[in-house]
Amino acid sequence: MEKHLSKGDRMFVAAAHGILIASVLLIAFPILNLVSVSLSGANHVYSGAVKLWPMEFQLDAYRYILDSKTFFSAFKVSVLLAAAGSLIGVVLAVFAAYPLSKPHLPGRKWIVLVYVFTMMFSGGIVPQYLLMHSLHLLNTIWAVIFPSVTNVFNLLIMKNFLETLPDEIEEAAKIDGASQLKILFHIMLPLSTPVIATIFLFFAVGFWNDYFNARMYITDQQLMPLQVYLRTVIFEAQNPAGNFALDQNTLKNVAPQSIINATVFLSMLPMVVLYPFLQKYFQRGMVIGSVKG
């Protein structure tokens, strides 16, 4: 096919490939360095000799982390946040987007405008904290879930996708006596698998990486998610008084930076593993859900 491309088109394709390769390298090099440091001996890490390949290969940093009960506690909290928050977020997005996808809905444009307005303006941090306090949600996972569970961007993607589905499908279902809920659950949702998988991935990544809400609303160490644990490791790994301080025997074999890098790698691993399972839906759902205004 490329034989039929003009000279300008071939130059464009070559430039696009060059940009993609450069982008991959820019992303891959820091990750390779991060993993290499986590797998290298302390002396090489201290000297700064480790670049893209481990030196004096060892797994002590990962053993140290996996022996920590606090890590697994934070990991379970993050999994719970990502799973519950994503599920609730998808359900709310579907129930809000379905009626908004109907042109005959009274006040539809104004409702969409209100949603879009909240993307640019919010009540602020202090009112939000006071609201969580008044609802007695501090030191619960709901204080982390509720502020992020309604995402207007994901809602609009879902709404635009539903608008692309043929009206004849719904009309035929109504002729057969199907109610709106039956149409939604038995017809629209099965056809919306790509966009549902897409926004589920968006929610999952958002909740998994959420640090600010957890830091602001949670002080109970048992409810500390992985990102807060990671921050604690970074600040306390070299602090003799810290909860994650390293003893002298550990410091002989493992550099604090190796433990930090190993924690970062383990924190990003679940999302890296999840993405391939949803990738086949991601491109189709994102494109179809964003082409219509």
Using alpha carbons, select from 89, 81, 75, 79 the residue that is nearest to residue 200: 89
Residue 290 has a pLDDT of 46
Cβ contact 207:81 at 8 Å: yes
Burial (0-12, 13-18, 19+ Cβ within 10 Å), 187? middle
Asked if residue 51 lies in contact with residue 33, where contact means CB atoms within 8 angstroms, the answer is yes
Identify the pLDDT of residue 13. Answer: 86
Amino acid in position 34: L
- Give CA–CA dist 82/75, Å, rounded: 11
State the Cα–Cα distance between residues 270 and 66, nearest whole angstrom: 15
Where does residue 139 fall: left (phi above 0), alpha (psi -120 to 50 degrees), or beta otherwise? left
Alpha-helical regions (H) of the chain? 7-38, 42-47, 60-66, 69-100, 108-120, 125-134, 142-145, 152-164, 167-175, 180-183, 189-191, 193-208, 212-217, 226-236, 248-253, 256-288
DSSP string, 36-100: HHHTS-HHHHHHT--SSS-SS---HHHHHHHT-HHHHHHHHHHHHHHHHHHHHHHHHHHHHHHHH
Q: Which residues in the chain show pLDDT less than 50?
A: 1, 240, 243, 285-286, 289-293
End-to-end CA distance of the chain: 33
How far lies 12's CA from each of 15, 78, 254, 287, in Å?
A: 5, 43, 48, 22
Closest CA to 288 of 201, 179, 160: 160
| Backbone φ, ψ for residue 140 (5° rounding) | -135, 155
